[in-house]
Amino acid sequence: MEQITQWLGQYLSTAEINNVADWLVRALLLLVVLYLVHFIIIRRVKYLSKKTANDYDDLLADILISLGSPFYFFLAIYIASLFYQLPYDANFYIEKASFLIFIYYAVRAIASVINFGFKKALKMQTKEDRDPTLIAVLNRLAGIILWIIAALIVLQNFNFNVSAIIGGLGITGIAVALAIQNILADIFSFVSIYFDKPFKIGDFITIGEDSGTVERIGLKTTRLRTLRGEELIISNQELSSTRVNNFRKLQERSIELNIGIDYNTSHTKLEKIPEIIRKIILKDRKLKYAWVRLVEFGDSGLIFNIFCYVKSQDYEVYLDKKQDLILAIYKELRKQKIDLSYPTQTVYLRK
């Protein structure tokens, strides 16, 4: 022990050795006190906050609970170093290291507050206007902005020329923006989709020849689940620049059928056809009658146009009712001995 003391004496004075020892003792005592506060008082606050109807105290408790061991460790040695002048510029390094840790936990706390505010704003919206996609996007953007600001503060604290860095970032940003202009166009299209709200998650939409249910609206792409089950990924730029059919507010689906009746059918039977089909439609409570009319002379028969509505926005219900209507019409026409037309050709031979 005496040899170690003599060796240290070559580099440190006796006063400095005492300072380091006292500093370590105070730092350890502070660390113990901070851990006791964390495990006894803060956890008790967390327990009590769950019993209140107010959610602001829950936010505060969550932030305090999230403070980890690095935060308490550097807080203890930093407070202790304020009362002692340590050798080898140890105070300077402790201050800088503590600053980095404090900035890290401060950014996390601010991000939690921002996330809390976004969720409160979301709850205040109506169910129709509520869109969880925006919360995720805004959280990401807020997180990126916070960490950029924190990085600039750290660089300034370490005596870097922040103004020159920001200027360089501006020039670099222009070059990057030109390189990723398609991605930026998709992001701006996302903003347009959000505020204009042409569709939301859960809506069934049609884009050109493709259709499906909206499952996710991202910054760059929107994902649909088609009727066949596969996932369809479409860029937001394409969605904002094309025609979109949204079936969310659809209350009824229309059925339009054209049937051909054989030309050999008598006039009496032809007059009965509109009434026959009208009764079939009115018999089904899910269908709403519009009209049945003889509209034209077809190539192979007389064409009747049938138009009615299905009182449901469900596509599967629509398909079932259309099938039922076709089968019922076919059955009733066969019962009345009315023949449907089909493509035929008559060949006359001249002798």
Instruction: Quickly tell me which residue has 């140890």 as its tokens.
Output: 90
Rounded mean pLDDT, 277-289: 92
Confidence at 294, pLDDT banded by 50, 70, 90 = very high
Write down the CATH number for the domain with range 191-246.
Answer: 2.30.30.60
CB 223 within 8 A of CB 182: no
pLDDT at res. 12: 41
CB 225 within 8 A of CB 212: yes
CB 280 within 8 A of CB 292: no
Residue (of 146, 246, 257, 236) closest to 199 by Cα position:
246
Strands laid side by side in the 301-310 sheet: 253-262, 301-310, 287-297
Nearby residues of 177 by Cβ (< 8 Å), 6 or more positions away:
184
pLDDT digits (tens, 9 = 90+) for 180-193: 566 667 767 777 77
Window from 51-60, 272-281, 306-315 with minimum mean pLDDT: 51-60
pLDDT at res. 9: 46
pLDDT at res. 167: 59
| Inter-axis angle of helices 14-36 and 69-81, nearest 10 | 140
Rounded mean pLDDT, 197-220: 82
Q: Is it true that 191-246 and 253-335 share their CATH fold?
A: no
On the CB side of 19, CA atoms within 13 Å amount to 15
Residue 328 has pLDDT above 80, yes or no: yes
Percentage above 90 pLDDT, the chain: 18
Q: How far apart are CA 263 and CA 346, in angstroms?
A: 13
pLDDT digits (tens, 9 = 90+) for 79-134: 877 776 777 677 788 888 888 888 888 888 888 888 887 777 666 655 555 566 66
Scored b (16 or more CB within 10 A) or e, 268-298 reads ebeeebeebbbebbeebeebebbebeeeeeb
Domain boundaries, the chain: 2-156, 191-246, 253-335
Q: How far apart are CA 225 and CA 205, in angstroms?
A: 10
Confidence at 256, pLDDT banded by 50, 70, 90 = very high
Confidence at 261, pLDDT banded by 50, 70, 90 = very high
Architecture of domain 253-335: 2-Layer Sandwich (3.30)
CB 100 within 8 A of CB 154: yes
pLDDT digits (tens, 9 = 90+) for 6-31: 543 444 444 444 566 777 777 788 87
Scored b (16 or more CB within 10 A) or e, 240-267 reads beeeeeebeeeeebebeeebbbeeebee
pLDDT at res. 14: 43
More confident residue, 177 or 76: 76
pLDDT at res. 102: 86
Evaluated on CA atoms 26, 31, 37, 39, the torsion sign reads negative
Pairing of strands 253-262, 210-217: unpaired
Confidence at 166, pLDDT banded by 50, 70, 90 = low
Look up the pTM and report it.
Answer: 0.46
